[in-house]
């Protein structure tokens, strides 16, 4: 048999346990792993997304060091900043109609956006995943009710729902934590159905897999099957929805702020609010108050979406780009060590074993298989 020379061949007869080579911890981390896997345009997209998202996160975390002024600061050592000042060395991106420094507001705004994003996603992931798992695994009337509820929530325009929630929670306006929580919870209500549906669909699919049935015939309890076998296998698509929802969370927050249901300017900086206040400036030729918060929204959404989309493409072997190989390159994968593996072949010893190499037939087989099951699995996407 011809084995790949690059792989270490395990020797089953030796007394020490020869473990197959495992990838290092670093390269198995979610994003790092995909980054190494990617090539070409997909890599470009992923890297661009990661850079933009990285800048966004750095701005958010270190806002107080990066921003020259506070988000609610109206006066410096020389007194009032003054309203609608054009960009200058003191105020890099000028000041707003309310007299705030645009650059500082944009940087601080990243912090608010990140906080809302995290709270919203943590809340909706836990609730959505739990409900989806229970509903999909047990089925029955509980499942019906939850699905109808999720559909009903889908039927509302999400921004309208968020506005209603924010009025219910905080009366429309509030302080920093109240505002962030109100925004986050209103976003949560909109996103729970998405996590619910995705996890439920995966759960229903995995419930029918043989390994779940095999856990059942072993006698494992429902809780054990749900956590150990179903949940761990159904979280595959979560990073994707996670990133896509993160970007939508930024948009929803900005939308709430723009419509005046966001956070008070004295409580936290918020891009949507600033955009709203700059509406009148645009017509009078004052561009800097609208452009920078607007760009911040676009870039943060773009960055997170790029990461999400690339992760999605890379997670699917059929969409994943690979380096082209030279014609007739590579080794022939071993299909079996004992050709035919006949009945007389030495049963007692390990030497007669089929397939001791690291390469098995699946390497080649998956390729021939996917080519004719190409259309059987439509890509799962959220609306």
Partner 1 sequence: MSGQQKTIVSIENLEVSFSTDAGAIKAVDRVSLEVAAGEVLAIVGESGSGKTVTAKSILGLLPETATARGAIILSSRDGGGAPGAGSSHNNDVLSLSKKQLRGIRGSDVSMVFQEPSTALNPVYTVGWQIAEGLRAHGKYTRAEAKAKAIDILGRVGIPDPETRVNYYPHQFSGGQKQRVVIAQALVLDPGLIVADEPTTALDVTVQAEILDLLRRCRDEFGTAIVLITHNMGVVADLADRVAVMYQGEVVEQADAVTLFSDPQNDYTKKLLASVPHIGQGALQTVERASARATDWQNATPVVVASGLRIEYPGRFGRGGFVAVDGVDFEIRAGEVLGLVGESGSGKTTIGRAIGGLTRVTGGSLKVLDHEMNGIRERVFKKVRSDIGFVFQDPASSFNPLLTIADCVAEPLVVHGRAGNPREARARVDELLEAVQLPKSYGDRYPHELSGGQRQRASLARAIALEPALLIADEPTSALDVSVQARVLELFAELQREFGFAALFISHDLAVVDLLADRIAVLYKGKLVEEGTGSEVLGSPKHPYTQRLLASLPVPDPVEQASRREALRALRADEARAAGTS
Q: Which lies closer to partner 1 via its Cβ, residue 283 or residue 375?
A: 375
Residue carrying structure tokens 């996603």: 121
Interface of this chain with partner 1, residues 315 to 344, rule: CB under 8 A: 317, 320, 322-336, 338-344
Per DSSP, 280 falls in state H
Shortest Cβ 217–partner 1 spacing (Å): 4
Q: Find the part of the chain contacting partner 1 (CB under 8 A) among 91-99, 153-161, 300-308, 347-355.
A: 347-355
Main-chain phi, psi angles of 247, to 5 degrees: -70, -35
Binding-site member from 2, 80, 175, 266 for partner 1 (CB under 8 A): 2
Give one word for 322, left, alpha or beta, with left for phi > 0 and alpha for psi -120 to 50.
Answer: beta
Contact 45, 310 (CB under 8 A): yes
Residue carrying structure tokens 């998202």: 53
Shortest Cβ 129–partner 1 spacing (Å): 16
Interface of this chain with partner 1, residues 219 to 238, rule: CB under 8 A: 219-221, 224, 228-229, 232-233
Binding-site member from 214, 266, 280, 377 for partner 1 (CB under 8 A): 214
Reduced to 3 states, what is the DSSP secondary structure of residue 80?
strand
Interface of this chain with partner 1, residues 181 to 210, rule: CB under 8 A: 209-210
Shortest Cβ 14–partner 1 spacing (Å): 9
User: Any residues with CB less than 8 A from the CB of 120 and at least 6 apart, and which?
Assistant: 183, 184, 185, 187, 188, 191, 245, 249
Interface of this chain with partner 1, residues 231 to 290, rule: CB under 8 A: 232-233
Binding status of residue 80 toward partner 1 by CB under 8 A: no
Contact 357, 334 (CB under 8 A): yes
Q: Which lies closer to partner 1 via its Cβ, residue 172 or residue 357?
A: 357
Binding-site member from 9, 363, 377, 381 for partner 1 (CB under 8 A): 363
**Dist. CA 116–CA 122, nearest whole Å:** 10
> Quick one: tokens of 117?
């994003």
Binding status of residue 31 toward partner 1 by CB under 8 A: no
- Mark residues 298-317: x for contact with partner 1 by CB under 8 A, - for none: -------------------x
Q: Find the part of the chain contacting partner 1 (CB under 8 A) among 107-115, 239-247, 301-309, 349-357.
A: 349-357
Binding-site member from 26, 155, 218, 223 for partner 1 (CB under 8 A): 218
**Dist. CA 320–CA 317, nearest whole Å:** 5
Main-chain phi, psi angles of 65, to 5 degrees: -90, -30
């Amino acid at each position: 048999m011809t084995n790949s020379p690059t792989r270490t061949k395990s020797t089953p007869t030796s007394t020490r346990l020869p473990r197959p080579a495992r990838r290092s911890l670093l390269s198995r981390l979610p994003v790092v792993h995909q980054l190494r896997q990617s090539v070409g345009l997909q890599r470009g997209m992923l890297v661009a997304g990661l850079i933009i998202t990285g800048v966004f996160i750095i701005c958010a975390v270190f806002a107080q060091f990066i921003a020259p002024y506070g988000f609610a600061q109206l006066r410096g050592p020389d007194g009032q900043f003054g309203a609608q000042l054009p960009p200058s060395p003191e105020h890099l991106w000028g000041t707003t109609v309310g007299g705030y420094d645009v650059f500082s507001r944009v940087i601080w705004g990243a912090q608010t956006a990140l906080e809302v994003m995290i709270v919203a996603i943590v809340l909706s992931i836990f609730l959505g995943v739990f409900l989806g798992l229970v509903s999909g695994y047990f089925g029955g009337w509980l499942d019906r009710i939850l699905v109808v509820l999720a559909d009903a929530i889908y039927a509302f325009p999400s921004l309208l729902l968020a506005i209603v929630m924010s009025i219910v929670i905080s009366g429309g306006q509030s302080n920093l934590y109240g505002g962030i929580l109100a925004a986050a919870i209103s976003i949560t209500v909109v996103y729970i159905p998405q996590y619910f549906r995705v996890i439920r669909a995966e759960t229903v699919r995995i419930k029918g897999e043989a390994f779940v049935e095999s856990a059942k015939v072993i006698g494992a309890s429902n809780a054990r099957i749900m956590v150990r076998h179903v949940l761990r296998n159904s979280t595959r698509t979560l990073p994707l929805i996670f990133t896509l929802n993160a970007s939508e969370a930024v948009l929803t927050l900005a939308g709430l702020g723009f419509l005046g249901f966001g956070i008070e300017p004295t409580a936290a900086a918020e891009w949507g609010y600033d955009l709203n206040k700059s509406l009148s400036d645009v017509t009078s030729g004052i561009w800097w108050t609208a452009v920078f918060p607007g760009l911040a929204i676009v870039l943060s959404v773009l960055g997170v979406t790029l990461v999400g989309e690339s992760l999605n493409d890379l997670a699917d072997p059929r969409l994943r780009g690979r380096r082209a190989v030279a014609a007739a390159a590579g080794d022939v994968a071993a299909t079996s060590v004992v050709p035919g593996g006949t009945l007389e072949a030495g049963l007692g010893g390990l030497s007669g074993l089929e397939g001791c190499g690291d390469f098995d037939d699946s390497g080649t087989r998956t390729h021939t298989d996917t080519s004719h099951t190409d259309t059987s699995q439509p890509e799962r996407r959220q609306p």
